[in-house]
Structure 1
Amino acid sequence: MRSILFVLLLMFSMSSFAQWKSYKLTSSGDTLNRIDKIDRKWGPWKIHYDQVRGEAGYEEEGWFEKNRKEGEWRLYSLMGDLVGIEYYRWGLKDSVCRYFTKDGQLKLEQSWKALNPDKEYDTLEIEDPDKFDTYRTVIVKNEGAAIKHGVWKYYDPVSGQVVRSEVYTLGKLEETAKAQPTTEKKQVAKPKEVVEFEKKNSGKKKVRYKDGTVGG
């Protein structure tokens, strides 16, 4: 009975792997960096970037659907520190993306709006700044990239204060404001995403994986 069960599980595993042109296999047997038979990225991915021309290297982990980034992506320094959390829709940045120092302090918040790349024009609901809770429909020509939309905040990672903010509406800069200087110092709490990451990964080693390229 056990041998039959083992054979069935083996057949199921082989069938699952066969749908991918290539993949990487983690030490726990999970597949990463999957590419299907028509060269589309699918599922969980981990991407490594080396240091280039003085720019620090990093790694990012997230999900692909039909060759496009989707949902939450996390960025790590090459030492394993969480340095960014980004959100994607249709392969483009969408919603609020946050970036941290290596010590886990928030240094930048960016607000993006993704447009559906499958449409030449897209429609968005924009809040009327002069009328609370009132929205208007705007038709936007798709330029093939995410647009800045909402408030961008730049933080002093030591004091935790916003030192500058920018307000964008559909890529247009509407307002820039600088924070008033202060001599007050306060203890800055780390963002909850960083705290959760540190708790979850305390004492853990980096995930190792191996190539699982199949076919040609």
Structure 2
Amino acid sequence: MRPILFVFLLFSVSGFAQWKDYKLTAKGDTLNRIDKLGRKWGPWKLHYDNVRGEPGYEEEGWFEKNRKEGEWRLFSLQGDLVGVEYYKWGLKDSICRYYTRDGELKLEQSWKALNPDKEYDTLEIEDPDKFDTYRTVIVKNEGAAIKHGVWKYYDPASGRVIRSEVYTLGKLEQEAKSTPVAEKKAVAKPKEVLDFEKKNSGKKKVRYRDGSTGG
């Protein structure tokens, strides 16, 4: 039994040794990892306090070489899911959704990430005048994600779209007129919110401790 424990301890120490800094959850998992080059890697949890009247929040997701990647979830400081964002190359990409604290959808944003390692990026854009036809567009990289697709603003009480905007590579193509808001009625919560509530029912917030190895 002792040799097995010894091997396990060696494995654990070697695993932690590759990180310059990290936090350790109650389950022993590493979080908020920083490698020897100062880059963020793996699962991260970020905290933002209230600032100038804006509510604070926390976000959880994944870093690769100091860049956000994949799905990131935003929570109020009370633990409510208030947003789901997607990243590519550290920039917002695809559909990002935001919710009220009660779980009602209030905003959908559509983004396009450009590869920050390239000065220009080549994109295939659907031709609005020809169905299922695409054209190639070369875009100069300005170092930020660009609005691309339909942005929808919802009335949380009714679930109806009250305004929408259509963007093509950052340019506003058209803005729909606001529509009357329907009377308040029961609206099913979005799937992301239902999944979150089901998975975290009865759970306490994750606590972690520092695991810094110094400079």
Question: Same fold judged by TM-score > 0.5?
Answer: yes
In structure 1, the residue matched to 2:117 is 118
Q: What CA distance in whole angstroms lies between the structure 2 residues aligned with 1:11 and 1:182?
A: 62
1:44-97: CA deviation from partner (whole Å, max 9, x where unpaired)? 000000001000000000000000000000000000000000000000000000
Q: What CA distance in whole angstroms lies between the structure 2 residues aligned with 1:84 and 1:168?
A: 21
1:95-119: CA deviation from partner (whole Å, max 9, x where unpaired)? 0000000000000000000000000
Q: What CA distance in whole angstroms lies between the structure 2 residues aligned with 1:171 and 1:46?
A: 30
In structure 1, the residue matched to 2:159 is 160
Q: TM-score, normalised by structure 1?
A: 0.98
Q: What CA distance in whole angstroms lies between the structure 2 residues aligned with 1:134 and 1:88?
A: 26
Give the direction of change, closer, same or farther, for the CA distance of 1:118–1:183 in structure 2 (3 Å limit).
closer
CA contact (8 A) 2:115 2:121 kept: yes
Q: Letter of the 2:107 partner, please give it.
A: L
Q: What CA distance in whole angstroms lies between the structure 1 residues aligned with 2:214 and 2:182?
A: 64
Q: TM-score, normalised by structure 2?
A: 0.98
Alignment of 1:1-216 (within 5 A): 2-181=1-180, 183-216=182-215
Aligned residues: 215
Of the structure 1 ranges 183-192 and 201-210, higher mean CA displacement relative to structure 2 is found in 183-192
SS at match of 1:178: coil
CA contact (8 A) 2:22 2:211 kept: yes
Q: CA RMSD for the aligned pairs?
A: 0.8
Q: What CA distance in whole angstroms lies between the structure 1 residues aligned with 2:44 and 2:127?
A: 39
Report the CA distance between 1:179 and its aligned residue: 4.1
Q: Letter of the 1:7 partner, please give it.
A: F
Between the two proteins, what is the percent identity of the paired residues? 80
Give the direction of change, closer, same or farther, for the CA distance of 1:182–1:78 in structure 2 (3 Å limit).
closer
SS at match of 2:124: strand
Consecutive unaligned residues of structure 2, counting only runs of 5 or more, are: none
Consecutive unaligned residues of structure 1, counting only runs of 5 or more, are: none
